[in-house]
Structure 1
Amino acid sequence: MKTVTIFQHHVGLHFHKGCLKQTLMPGRYRFWGSGDTVLPVSVMPNSRIVPTRDIMTSDGALVKVRLLIETKVVNAEAAYAANFLPRPRGSDLLALLEEQNTVTTDFEVALFKWVSGRTLEAVMAGYQNVGTELKEQLQAGYLAKGIELGSVDVLDFTLSGPLRQAMSELLKVDIDAKVALGRARAEAATMRSLLNTARLVREHPKLLEIRMLATGQKPKVTFLVSDSSAGSPSSEAALDETLE
């Protein structure tokens, strides 16, 4: 008698004398006799990275794109038949690495076609949606093989060679221009405020005295003192005093 336990988030492919018989759900199973083998298969999401490579656009520019792909086994028997799962005997690790290489290679080819068929301007405008487009393109084929594609995200997008330096300089010029424009707008707003203030003071002189009183400044008041003995306007003296 042979006892096998299939744990949660896994299924088991039951082989009898080398022939695939059924898919086992999580639980504990007993097999009588010999010739029975169970291959555990994880049905949890699995992430992998498509490595960065230089890809040339249709107008000769080099770009680098790196993707993060999430896959999950939804049909273990179909995945096994499509050689996406390790064999019951032999090097399971080697088979798993081959499966991962198959997925990344498919995306590398699809990504190459996506970039090489567009100009640099079109690539830069649409690279954020490349994951969604590649997923829609490959999803049906992978489902037929028992694999479901989850999220496909862009981890990195860069330009290569002198084009990267040129783009950095262009970005710096754009930022400097925006800073200069913001400074000019601030100066223009200050001048408009000063002009409005000057117009109000010209039209309403009393506003200046009110402003001085509000800020705590002491206005100067002119007193005219008349010389009674002289009795003539020319003898009047003007004294400027500050109110305490």
Structure 2
Amino acid sequence: MLMFHKVVVGDAERALVYKDRRLERVLSPGVHRLRGWSRKVVMHDITTAEYTGSDTDSLVQSLGASLDEHFQLVNLDMQEAGLVYKHGKLVDVLQPGARKLYWKGLAEVVVQRVALSGPLELAPEIVHRLRQLNLIDKLAVAVTVPAESAGLVFVDGKLVQVLGPGAVAYWNFRKNVTAEVIDLRVQSMEVSGQELLTRDKVSLRVNLAASLRVTDPVAARTRVAKYADFVYRELQYGLRKAVSAKTLDELLGDKASLDADIFAYVRGQLGGIGIELLGVGVKDVILPGEMKDILNGVVQAEKSAQANVIRRREEANATRSLLNTARLVEESPTLMRLKELEALEKVTEKIDKLTVFGGLDGLLNQLVKIKQ
């Protein structure tokens, strides 16, 4: 007596029937009666579209020409990736060399092949969708270049593109894609605490500040390993060279010439690497404690000598003026009389009461010796 058992397959399901551990057929939606009990039925939910079994290769071989009735086979080579669209929306990305089966009959699945031998840049709409799926960091290198900056894209160590401000992404399959952002704005750099010797062998410390900007990002990135370190080192060399060529008095008396010497040297060194030096300035010249005391003593002595000279000059001027006044008084009795009245006025300012006997002439004869 033959035995049958019933298998019910829903609209969102498919069933694989195995006999003696070999695939026999695929059951579509409906009610099926299978003869005997030696068959194994494996149900699959096709709402996800992708076949999740581990026997893809044997399934393709077993179904042969009838595979297209139930499945869509996607077989990518090693130089292409696949964009998987479901109902017109991007839902997944297949790696190069991937081999996938997708169920037919429920969801419309379209796989778009992307050749990796050509440009690696992703279209903006694909980048946006991959961000929504949280896949952008796994599958691509995303670069965001801010304003006043430039982006450099390297593929397997070779510079392939210079980017302006904006956002872009590149496939990162089977190739090493890297990107760097170069700031084109004016930058400041400080060289602090440099111990130097002047031409007259005075030890001091100098702090230097400089402003610069990148004018050629490709040259700055490719001609030197680290352009910031290179500029810093050249500022050190320029500062040491300029300080060693001057005495301490020359340094303290004319810092502007020191700035100019450093600027001229460093600017010449940076001409071929795409860096423009905008300005250099010495911020501080710091002397040792004993040298400060010596300089303070020198300055104090100089100022004291200058004060003595000024004092002597003023005393001489005052004596000369007094002599001239005496000569005028000697030659003019009227002027002598006016001087006597001025002296009397000053005396009376300090006297509370004054009693006059013998008239004004008598008073003058008593207080001031009048020349006959």
TM (norm. structure 2) is 0.49
> Is contact 2:330-2:336 (8 Å) kept?
no
Q: Deviations over 1:80-115 (max 9, x none)?
A: 113465xxxxxxxxxxxxx54432222222322333
Residue 158 of structure 1 is matched in structure 2 by 286
Residue 91 of structure 1 is matched in structure 2 by none
1:69 partner SS:
strand
1:124 and 1:140, CA in 2 relative to 1: closer, same or farther beyond 3 A? same
Deviation at 1:211, TM superposition (A): 5.3
Residue 29 of structure 2 is matched in structure 1 by none
> Is contact 1:67-1:131 (8 Å) kept?
no
Give, in whole Å, the separation in 2 of the partners of 1:53 and 1:15: 38
Give, in whole Å, the separation in 2 of the partners of 1:168 and 1:81: 51
Alignment of 1:28-107 (within 5 A): 28-31=166-169, 33-34=171-172, 38-83=179-224, 99-107=227-235
Alignment of 1:77-226 (within 5 A): 77-83=218-224, 99-121=227-249, 123-124=251-252, 127-160=255-288, 162-210=290-338, 217=345
1:141 and 1:57, CA in 2 relative to 1: closer, same or farther beyond 3 A? closer
Structure with greater helix share of residues: 1
Letter of the 1:80 counterpart: R
Deviation at 1:37, TM superposition (A): 5.1
Structure 2 unaligned runs (5+)? 1-125, 128-141, 347-356, 362-372
When the two chains are superposed, the root-mean-square deviation of aligned CA atoms in Å is: 3.3
Residue 95 of structure 1 is matched in structure 2 by none
1:149 partner SS:
strand
Deviation at 1:199, TM superposition (A): 1.5
Give, in whole Å, the separation in 1 of the partners of 2:272 and 2:314: 62
Give, in whole Å, the separation in 2 of the partners of 1:216 and 1:8: 86
Aligned with residue 358 of structure 2, among 237, 240, 244:
240
Give, in whole Å, the separation in 2 of the partners of 1:132 and 1:183: 40
Equivalent pairs: percent with the same residue? 27
Question: What is the aligned residue count?
Answer: 211
Letter of the 1:157 counterpart: V
> Is contact 1:62-1:159 (8 Å) kept?
yes
Deviation at 1:41, TM superposition (A): 1.8
Give, in whole Å, the separation in 1 of the partners of 2:192 and 2:322: 60
Q: Deviations over 1:119-143 (max 9, x none)?
A: 5455555553122112211213212
1:69 and 1:30, CA in 2 relative to 1: closer, same or farther beyond 3 A? closer
Letter of the 1:20 counterpart: L
Structure 1 unaligned runs (5+)? 86-98, 219-238
1:82 and 1:17, CA in 2 relative to 1: closer, same or farther beyond 3 A? same
1:37 and 1:175, CA in 2 relative to 1: closer, same or farther beyond 3 A? same
Give, in whole Å, the separation in 1 of the partners of 2:167 and 2:312: 79
> Is contact 2:210-2:281 (8 Å) kept?
yes
TM (norm. structure 1) is 0.70
